[in-house]
Structures are given as structure tokens and as C-alpha cells.
């Protein structure tokens, strides 16, 4: 989850059959290895952020209730509490943050997809003795993907936190550090072990029957931050990750039409062109994270925000916008024009803002809102980041499939 950098504009290349031409899938006959949306032509989804990687900034009360108040990331909380106490605290969180009722509610809102951010440490044998991460999350991941399968939701598993951390000073990596250590042979290998293990789990465990896409790494370091690391990842990690996923599928005898779709942050993220060193691009996808909050082109008023949304984003064929929100620039969010506390008159504009965004993203492959739920942002429950409470506030319509038709674009 991006919280501190500018919006990026990415291009998705699909060399497989276009989404819109795929036939509907009979959910009663769904194979464990069937790999695409259940009859829909666009991804319309939500992220389940702060489930397996808690980000304190939008889960403040939850984080405090776990005994983690004052700590910035999972690593520091686990280190402070001690392993056994931390495992118990995180287990309580996993049991309650996302429930089967949440999954049913997501489906009831006309959404068809969930993206699940996970850390590499959910495969516990990859964790080294000098690292501090909670243990026991895998069975809860199994529960969530099983509920999603029952509800007919498509699932994207996202490697959100890589070994050594892939971006500086970010909660979402699980271990905030000024000097990310992901960009080494050893940590690439640990990430690849995670990816091939998850690939096998998806293909062989019935709970994962509607998992169709795997994201190799979320928001890695950008070239402008460290060109050496970004270029090394491009040349050495990206093709190896692809090969490890495909090789494991080959070993399992997976038919081509049932292979996982593989998702990379695209070139406009700023780390280079992921496909540069790939020998194959079958079912290759690119992720885009669009946060107008951080883009100065959005201007300073409601009209400029809508105009920017409608005219400045240029999606090409089947981009998946894996993260976006309703938030606006920090200096605007509590003004009379944009505020949501004590300003019920602004709710209708946020509906327009949401509809404008999704109408543009649906010109490509679709969208996944950040986040499904939140807990105490900006000293109140700021629904601009929280799909569930935005629906309750009347800012997001209850039927996601109809939202684009409301667009002011």
C-alpha cells in the first residue's frame, strides 16, 4: 500500500485472450485450477489490507488493542512483545479483522475480486533466527480464500512484504528500514521459494480454487531512489520469479489455460520494464496504483479533481488498477470543500469522484480499492480509504457493477 509517494501511471500488456471475450464460468462446475473471473469482464474489487500485514496508520485502535501501540511495524511489535505473546496477539487480530461475514458483504456489494497482501513470513520456514515476524497466519489465509471461493470471488495473492524489505521506510513491508535489503541473491531466493510454494498451494489446495493471479512483489524500490537495486531486480529477480512459478506449474502438469496470471508493478511505477528480461509473456499483467492525493495535477478544487481523473489518466489495454482511494491532498482533506466531518453536503461529490475513477479504470481491466476496512485514520474513521464505511456513508454505491454509469466523465 502506497502512503507516501506520487501516483504512477502504468501500462498492462496482455498477450492472452482479452478479458472481455472470455466465456462465463459455471460456478457449480468450477475446477480447482480454473483461473479467471466468474463470468465478469472487469475486475471490481477491494484490498484486504492490514489483515496479514498490519499498517498502523489505518488500523490505529486495532494496533493498540494488540499491544503494539507506539511501534511502527510488525517487526518492532513482535520484537518487543516476544514471539509467543506476539503470536497470540496477531492470532486474535487474524480471527476478527476479516470474517466470513466480511467476505459475504463484499460479494453482496457487486464486487468480484479481493487482493490479499501477505508477507513472505507466512511461509514460516523462510524466516531467519534474527528476524521478527508473527507466526500462525497461514491457516487464516486458508480460511479467507476458502470463503472467497464459496462466495464466487476472484482472488489475487500479493507478495506485499518481501524478504529484507523492498522499499524504504514503509509499514507495508513488515519491517521499515531506511536501507531495504531485498536486493540480494539470498533474498531473491527466499522470495522465489515463497512464490513457487504459493503457486503449488494454489493449484493443489481446494480452498484456493478461485485464486487466479499472483503478484511477484508489491511496490519495490524505484530507480530514482536506487537505480542499482531497481535494475538488479529487473534483470535477476523478475525473470527468475517468472520461471520459478512456471516451472512449478510444469512439474504439476498444469494445462496452459489453467496457469496463473502473473502480476508485476508496471514500468511507470519507476523500477523499469518488468518484461525486459522475460523469455515468455503468456498471462503477463501489470499493476497500477493511482493515488490522486499525491499527484499535484489533481489541482485544488472539486472541479480540478474530477477533470484530472477524467482526462489525465490514460489506461491502455486491460490495466489492473490494484490500489486507489477517495482521499485528497492532506492540506485539502479537512476544508469546507472536501471535508467529511460535519459536511454531509460533500458526500455526493465523493460519489462522483469514485464513479469517475472506476469509469476510467474499467476502460482497462478494472480496479481494486484500497482498502475494504479501516480503523481510525486522521483522528476519526476516514471513509475515504475504507470501502465498507464509504458505502455506509452513502459515498460509494452498494452495487459496484453500476458505479461507472454514474460517472461525471
Q: Which residues are catalytic?
A: 219, 323
**CA quadruple 340, 342, 347, 348: dihedral sign:** negative
Assign 368 to helix, strand or coil.
Answer: strand
Report the C-alpha gap between 127 and 14 in whole angstroms.
34
Answer whether 118's CB lies under 8 Å from 160's CB.
yes
Q: Which residues contact 203 (CB under 8 A, 6 or more apart)?
A: 32, 33, 249, 252, 254, 258
Report the C-alpha gap between 52 and 122 in whole angstroms.
8
Radius of gyration of the chain (CA): 20
Q: What is the DSSP string of 103-148?
A: HHHHHHTT--EEEEEEEGGGSGGG--TT-------HHHHHHHHHHH
Report the C-alpha gap between 183 and 5 in whole angstroms.
20
Question: Checking DSSP bridges between strand 113-119 and strand 43-47, what pairing results, if any?
Answer: parallel
Which candidate, 64, 65, 58, places its Cα nearest to that of 375? 58
Cell of 86: 506476539
Q: Which residues contact 348 (CB under 8 A, 6 or more apart)?
A: none
Cell of 161: 512484504
- The enclosing H or E element of 240 equals helix 238-252
User: For residue 156, what is the DSSP state?
Assistant: E
Report the C-alpha gap between 220 and 72 in whole angstroms.
19
Residue 138's φ and ψ, nearest 5 degrees, are -60, -40
Cell of 307: 477533470
Report the C-alpha gap between 50 and 71 in whole angstroms.
15
Q: Which residues contact 394 (CB under 8 A, 6 or more apart)?
A: 347, 351
**Contacts from 148-151 at CB under 8 Å and sequence distance 24+?**
148/103, 148/114, 148/210, 149/30, 149/206, 149/207, 149/208, 149/209, 149/210, 150/103, 151/103, 151/104, 151/106, 151/107
Amino acid at each position: 500500500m502506497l502512503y507516501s509517494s506520487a501516483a504512477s501511471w502504468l501500462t498492462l500488456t496482455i498477450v492472452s485472450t482479452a478479458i472481455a471475450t472470455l466465456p462465463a464460468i459455471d460456478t457449480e462446475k468450477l475446477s480447482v485450477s480454473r483461473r479467471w473471473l466468474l463470468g465478469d469482464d472487469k475486475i471490481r474489487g477491494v484490498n484486504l489490507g492490514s489483515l496479514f500485514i498490519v499498517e498502523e496508520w489505518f488500523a490505529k485502535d486495532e494496533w493498540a488493542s494488540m499491544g503494539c501501540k507506539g511501534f511502527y511495524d510488525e517487526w518492532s511489535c513482535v520484537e518487543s512483545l516476544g514471539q509467543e505473546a506476539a503470536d497470540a496477539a496477531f492470532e486474535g487480530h487474524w480471527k476478527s479483522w476479516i470474517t466470513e461475514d466480511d467476505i459475504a458483504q463484499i460479494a453482496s456489494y457487486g464486487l468480484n475480486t479481493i487482493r490479499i497482501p501477505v508477507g513472505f513470513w507466512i511461509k514460516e520456514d523462510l524466516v531467519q533466527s534474527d528476524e521478527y515476524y508473527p507466526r500462525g497466519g497461514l491457516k487464516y489465509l486458508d480460511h479467507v480464500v476458502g470463503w472467497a471461493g464459496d462466495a464466487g470471488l476472484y482472488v489475487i495473492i500479493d507478495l506485499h512484504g518481501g524478504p529484507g524489505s523492498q522499499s524504504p521506510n514503509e509499514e507495508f513491508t513488515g519491517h521499515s528500514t531506511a536501507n531495504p535489503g531485498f536486493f540480494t541473491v539470498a533474498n531473491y531466493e527466499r522470495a522465489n521459494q515463497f512464490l513457487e510454494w504459493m503457486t503449488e498451494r494454489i493449484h493443489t489446495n481446494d480452498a484456493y480454487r478461485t485464486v487466479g493471479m499472483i503478484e511477484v512483489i508489491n511496490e519495490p524500490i524505484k530507480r530514482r531512489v536506487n537505480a542499482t537495486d531497481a535494475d538488479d531486480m529487473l534483470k535477476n529477480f523478475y525473470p527468475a520469479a517468472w520461471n520459478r512459478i512456471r516451472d512449478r506449474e510444469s512439474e504439476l502438469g498444469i494445462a496452459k489455460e489453467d496457469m496463473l496470471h502473473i502480476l508485476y508493478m508496471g514500468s511507470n511505477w519507476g523500477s523499469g520494464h518488468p518484461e525486459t528480461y522475460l523469455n515468455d509473456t503468456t498471462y503477463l499483467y501489470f499493476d497500477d496504483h493511482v493515488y490522486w492525493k499525491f499527484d499535484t495535477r489533481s489541482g485544488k478544487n472539486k472541479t480540478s479533481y474530477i477533470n484530472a481523473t477524467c482526462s489525465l489518466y490514460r489506461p491502455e489495454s486491460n490495466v489492473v488498477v490494484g490500489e486507489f482511494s477517495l482521499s485528497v491532498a492532506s492540506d485539502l482533506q479537512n476544508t469546507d470543500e472536501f471535508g467529511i466531518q460535519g459536511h454531509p453536503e460533500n458526500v455526493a461529490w465523493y460519489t462522483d469522484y469514485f464513479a469517475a475513477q472506476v469509469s476510467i479504470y474499467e476502460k482497462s481491466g478494472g480496479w481494486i480499492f484500497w482498502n475494504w476496512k479501516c480503523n481510525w485514520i486522521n483522528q476519526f474513521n476516514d471513509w475515504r480509504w475504507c470501502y465498507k464505511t464509504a458505502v455506509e456513508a452513502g459515498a460509494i454505491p452498494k452495487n459496484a457493477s453500476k458505479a461507472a454509469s454514474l460517472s461525471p466523465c
